[in-house]
Structures are given as structure tokens and as C-alpha cells.
Chain A
Amino acid sequence: MAKFLLRRLANYVILVAVATSCAYILAAISLHPRANFEGRNPPPPEAAVDARLTQLNLNDETPVLQRYKTWAKGVLHGDFGKTWEGESVNAEMGRRIGVSLRLLLIATIVGGTLGVLAGAWGAIRQYQFSDHAVTMLSFVILSIPVFVLAVVLEIAAVGFNNATGAKVFEYTGEFTPGLQGGFWTHAVDRVQHLILPSLTLILGEIAIFSRYQRSAMLDVLGQDFVRTAQAKGLRRRGALLRHALRTALIPAVTYFIYNFGILIVGATFTEKIFGWHGMGEWFVDSVTRQDTNAVAAVTCFAAIMILLAGLISDVAYAMLDPRIRVS
């Protein structure tokens, strides 16, 4: 099993290195930080702009490959360079990474678990009302783009707040700035801000995973080993949980990595709409501001996150499927 995981890890590290390098080179060709200086009033002298851009490793007159070399050397030493304003990309990333991680973790854990359970439940009650309801709901949610879902939830929250006359749901930012009070006041405030963005991502995750899990579970339910488990004296519940659900999890687990890229893009919309200062918001703002190094850093973050998701799904795969462990 260790050998299998090590081989997968090596494969992922190479993929991330290539992916991040491609992203940097594309960004270096496509984005022009020079425009930011030229747009200033009064326009600074060209020599000064050139010197500043060279200092930041953003000068479009330096060949791309040379800029890439400087950048890659920095990244290997753990330094992602500077933004076009001369600030450290690492420092900004440190501020933002936690915000995104919190959203991604909650959405993955809550959404994944509920989705798998909903799918399995639907499969057990195939063609009953609850099955149709779960299938239809997930179908509808999958047809709603994240940026529409987020705004619809926001409208519903505003309606709920107005109806109850209390500010139950918050929909801008991560917390209320300048809030006075003790630990609990702050904790409640954070949770109030967390609900809507998390719900946006969780709903999508539930929809996707319930679909995968339902079809995987249906394949398993009719098989002999589930009947055998019941025949040897296990209760139906035990047979379904220990044997059917476990086997049916294997395909869902392999979809995990495919799905994580979609989740990261979804988090980008969510952060932007709910005003969370996370990595996704930074990406959108940096592309708009033509900030090559920041864009490359966020892409690297996304690639590493997807790699981690891949590793987790490999470990889960090895745990669920004994054939992987033995060979």
C-alpha cells in the first residue's frame, strides 16, 4: 500500500509542478502589469517603470523563460515573489489561505457526508417518493450555477431577516468589523456569517455526491454478497452499512478528485459574492489587476489542494479496496 501511495504521490508532485509552471508562463504572457503604471496620472518616466518592473520580476521586456527561471527559483525556496504593488505574495497568501480552507473543508466534509448518505438512502428506497425527491432535487441544484444559487440564498436570507425582524443570517464578509463583546459574541457572529457561503457550496456537493452514490449503491444492492451477509444473520441495516455502503463508496471516492476542481471554482464565486477575502477572490482581483505573481500563487494553491484531494481519495480507495493493499 505504501508503494502504491508513494507512486501516486510522485505522479501528483510532477503534475503540480508542470501545472503551476504552465500557469505561470501563460500568466506571464497574457497579463501586463506595466499597464498599471502607465495608467497613473501623471505617467511615470519609462526608465523608472522599467527599473521597478525588473525589480519585481514583472518586466515584459525580459524573456518569459528568464522570468520563469527567477520565479521558479524563488518558489523552490518558498517565496512566491511580489505583487505589482511591491508587497509580498507570501504574506497576502498567509492572510487569505485560512479563509478559503475553512470554506473548502466544511463544504467537503458536510456536503460529502450528507451527499453519500442521501444517495445511499435514495438507492435503498428506489422508486419510492423519497428517492424521487432526492433525485429531482439534486438534478435541479446541479442545474443552478453557483453564482445564481448564492444570490438566491442571499435573497431568501434577506426575506427571512425581514420577516423575523432579527439579523439571523449575515451575507457580507467573514465577521462584523468592530464588534464589541466576549468570545461567544464573536463565535456566534462568525457562525452567522459562515452559514450562507457554506450552504451554497454544501448544496452543490450533496447534489453531486448523492447522484454518484445512488448509482453506485444500486449496482451493489442486487449482488450476492449483500444477500449472503443477511443470510449469515446480519440485520438488514448492518448488511447495508457494513457491506453495501462500503463497497459502493469506492466509485464515489474516485470521483472526489474530479469534483474538487469544481468545488474550488465554486468557492471562488462564493467568496466573491459574499465578500470573503479568500484565495478565490484574490485570483479574480489579481487577473483584473494584471498581477502575474499573485495569479501564479493562487493557481499553485489550487493545484496543491486538488493534489491533496487526490491523495486523500487514493488513501480512502486503498482502505476500502483490499486488492490495492495486498498487491
Chain B
Amino acid sequence: MSVPSDQLATILPGQRPDGEEAALDETRIASRWSLVLRRFRRRRLAMAGLVVLVFLFLLAFVGPYLGQWTYTDHDFNAFLQGPSLDHWFGTTQTGGDVYALTLRGMQKSLVIGILVALISTGIAAVVGSFAGYMGGWIDRTLMWFVDLMLVLPSFLIIAILSPTFRGKTWLVFVVLLAAFLWLVTARIVRGMTISLREREYVLAARYMGVPAHRIIFRHILPNISSLLIVDATINVSAAVISETGLSYFGFGVQPPDVSLGTLIADGTQSATTYPWLFGFAAGILVALVLAVNLVGDGLRDALDPTSGF
């Protein structure tokens, strides 16, 4: 749906422009993305989420240069000290700087979350659309696999497999997380593909002899791109929650590396006596997940104003 941009300027916030009836001015058509951007900017909560997210990113990747300690340093003059000018977030039992540790954990959790979301949404898009378009055994195998995962929570499986990637690179952990996160998205993609399969433009392409893989990449996937974008965003928060949960029990990121999950686990025991060990990592984790969810929700509304969820 595209609308002349000069008309958009006069439309009051909250009113929905009606693309079908508006006279199209070929030279000044607002592109789909500028329309989405406009709708997104109108949502105050989503914008707040975006601002928080940008701030958290800056904190994670620029913040470490502002502090005077690195996450491997130990200050032997300050054990279990509360927040001070010297140690902004306080220190741990061994004199580690909580500020540096938390930012390091944030970096790890963010990178893992984003990688897992991108990989799993990518796999889900490809497998789901092929299963939906082709049908047959690919479809049946996929659906059966999704059902199996329903009975077997991925948390349990990754926990069971955790000894096999202990001592190896954390990328193995990323691959495992992604391997379990794509299933539900794939199911949704499959459903949407089935409804797109019989549309005129897909049929036209098929009768012209366009091979199936090209139809999927040229016609089907671009048409469900809004769903994929929203899903990739929401998957970031799902991945961060899974990652921190597994790391909390020591089944994920392994020491000496830290993630928000391992930091929260270390702080849990003394959460009431030494609150800074728990509070900063936990607060940042909640802020991160909440911000990602708000942005995802705003994106969903901006991309599809009729979804109304």
C-alpha cells in the first residue's frame, strides 16, 4: 500500500491513510519503508524501547573503554565493596570489577542473541517455505520434528548436550541454540507459504516455467518479509532468555568467559546481602529483553496495522 507523500503530510496522527482511494502521484510516492518508519515513530513505547536498546548497545561496546578496569582485573584492595567512584558497580568476592564484568557479559549475551536470531530466522524462512511450497515428505518430516520438539523442551536437550561443548568455542553453543529456535517460526512460515502458493502471481511464475527455488526466493519470501523481520526481533529476546537461562546453571557460556546468565547466577546467593552482585546484571538483562520486545511489538504494528495483537 503506497500513498502520495504530500497527502501523508496532512494526515493527522492516528488516522489511517487509505491507499486504494487516494489518487496516485507517480513522482512522489512514499516508499513502503518510509511509511513503516512513520508508523513506527508514532508508537511512543516502541520508540522508547529503541532508545533503550541503542543506549544498551553503546554501553556494552563503548562502555568498557570508559572504566579503568577490565573484566579480568582483580583489585586486591577491594573485596565485595559496594558501588563507589573507583568501582562504579562495586566489586566481587575476588575483587573483580562488576562494571567491567557486566559489560563483558552484556556483549556476550547480545552477540549470542543476535547471531542465534539471525541464523534461526534464516533457517526457518528457507525450510518453512520449502516445506509449505513443496509439501510431501519434506513437509511431513518438518511437522513431525516440530511436534517432537514440543514434547522435548530444548532447554533439557541443550543441557544434556552441554558437556560435549565444554572447553570448545562458544560458537557451538550458538549453533545449538539456533538449531532449536527455528522450529516454531518455520511452522508459521509454512502456514503462510501454503496460503501464498495459490496466488495468481505465483501461479503465473510457475506456468512460465520458473523453477521452485527461484519462486520461493523471488516471490514467496519477499511477501512474508514483514513476518520474518518481526520474528527475528522477537527471537533475539527469546535467544537471550534461553542463553542466560542455560548459562545460569553452567550449561551455556563457560568460565573464564562471562554472560549475563553466569553473572546473575553468581549474584543470586548474595542478592539480599550484596545487592550489586545481582542487581546490575539482572536489571540490564530485563531492560534488554523488554526493549527488544517493545521494538518487536512496534515493528509488528508498523508493518501490519491490521494485526492488532
Q: Do A and B come from one complex?
A: yes
Interface of A is mostly: helix
A303 to B151, CA, bound (A): 5
Contacts of B162 in A (CB 8 A): 30, 287
CB distance from A7 to the nearest CB of B (A): 14
Known: A15-B148, A30-B164, A145-B285. A284 touches B159 (CB 8 A): yes
Contacts of B290 in A (CB 8 A): 139-140, 143
Query: A250-276 interface mask toward B, CB cutoff 8 Å, 1 = contact, 0 = none?
Result: 000000011001101100110011000
Is residue B1 contacting chain A, with contact meaning CB distance below 8 A? no
Known: A215-B309, A295-B160, A302-B156. A152 touches B250 (CB 8 A): no
Identify which of B161, B163, B244, B268 contacts A273 (C-beta below 8 A). Answer: B268
- Contact of A269 with B245 in the complex, beta carbons under 8 Å: yes
- Contact of A15 with B241 in the complex, beta carbons under 8 Å: no
Query: B273-299 interface mask toward A, CB cutoff 8 Å, 1 = contact, 0 = none?
Result: 001001000100110011001100100
Query: Which residues in chain B, 84-136, are within 8 Å of chain A measured between CB atoms?
Result: none
Is residue A158 contacting chain B, with contact meaning CB distance below 8 A? yes
- Contact of A269 with B248 in the complex, beta carbons under 8 Å: yes
- Contact of A147 with B268 in the complex, beta carbons under 8 Å: yes
A23 to B149, CA, bound (A): 11
- Contact of A151 with B271 in the complex, beta carbons under 8 Å: yes
Is residue B153 contacting chain A, with contact meaning CB distance below 8 A? yes
Contacts of A19 in B (CB 8 A): 148, 151-152
Contacts of A303 in B (CB 8 A): 151-152
A15 to B271, CA, bound (A): 41
CB distance from B153 to the nearest CB of A (A): 4
Known: A154-B272, A261-B150, A273-B268. A299 touches B249 (CB 8 A): no
Is residue A26 contacting chain B, with contact meaning CB distance below 8 A? yes
Is residue A18 contacting chain B, with contact meaning CB distance below 8 A? yes
- Contact of B272 with A32 in the complex, beta carbons under 8 Å: no
Query: Which residues in chain B, 138-193, are within 8 Å of chain A measured between CB atoms?
Result: 147-148, 150-153, 155-157, 159-164
A113 to B106, CA, bound (A): 37
Is residue B264 contacting chain A, with contact meaning CB distance below 8 A? yes
Query: A1-33 interface mask toward B, CB cutoff 8 Å, 1 = contact, 0 = none?
Result: 000000000011001101100110011011110
Known: A140-B290, A154-B271, A288-B250. A15 touches B244 (CB 8 A): no
- Additional pairs, 13, CB under 8 Å, beyond known A145-B244, A273-B268, A306-B153: A19-B152, A23-B156, A31-B163, A140-B290, A142-B293, A151-B268, A155-B275, A257-B150, A261-B153, A265-B153, A265-B245, A269-B245, A299-B160
How many chain B residues sit at the interface, stated as a range, is: 35 or more
- Contact of A15 with B151 in the complex, beta carbons under 8 Å: yes
Is residue A218 contacting chain B, with contact meaning CB distance below 8 A? yes
Contacts of B237 in A (CB 8 A): 143
- Contact of A18 with B148 in the complex, beta carbons under 8 Å: yes
Query: Which residues in chain B, 23-66, are within 8 Å of chain A measured between CB atoms?
Result: none
CB distance from A203 to the nearest CB of B (A): 14
Query: Which residues in chain A, 211-259, are within 8 Å of chain B measured between CB atoms?
Result: 215, 218, 257-258
Known: A147-B248, A151-B282, A261-B150. A23 touches B157 (CB 8 A): yes
A48 to B125, CA, bound (A): 53
Closest to A22 in B: B152
Is residue A283 contacting chain B, with contact meaning CB distance below 8 A? yes
Is residue A316 contacting chain B, with contact meaning CB distance below 8 A? no
Contacts of B13 in A (CB 8 A): none
Query: B241-264 interface mask toward A, CB cutoff 8 Å, 1 = contact, 0 = none?
Result: 100110011110000000000001
A29 to B161, CA, bound (A): 9
Contacts of B285 in A (CB 8 A): 145, 148
Known: A15-B148, A151-B282. A26 touches B157 (CB 8 A): yes
- Contact of A299 with B163 in the complex, beta carbons under 8 Å: no
The 8 closest A-B pairs by CB, nearest first: A143-B290, A261-B153, A19-B152, A143-B289, A265-B155, A19-B151, A148-B282, A303-B151
Is residue B211 contacting chain A, with contact meaning CB distance below 8 A? no
Query: A74-106 interface mask toward B, CB cutoff 8 Å, 1 = contact, 0 = none?
Result: 000000000000000000000000000000000
A151 to B265, CA, bound (A): 10
Output the residue of A144, A147, A155 with the most chain B CB within 10 A.
A147
Query: Which residues in chain B, 224-254, are within 8 Å of chain A measured between CB atoms?
Result: 237, 241, 244-245, 248-251
CB distance from A199 to the nearest CB of B (A): 17
- Contact of A290 with B163 in the complex, beta carbons under 8 Å: yes
Is residue B14 contacting chain A, with contact meaning CB distance below 8 A? no
A261 to B264, CA, bound (A): 23
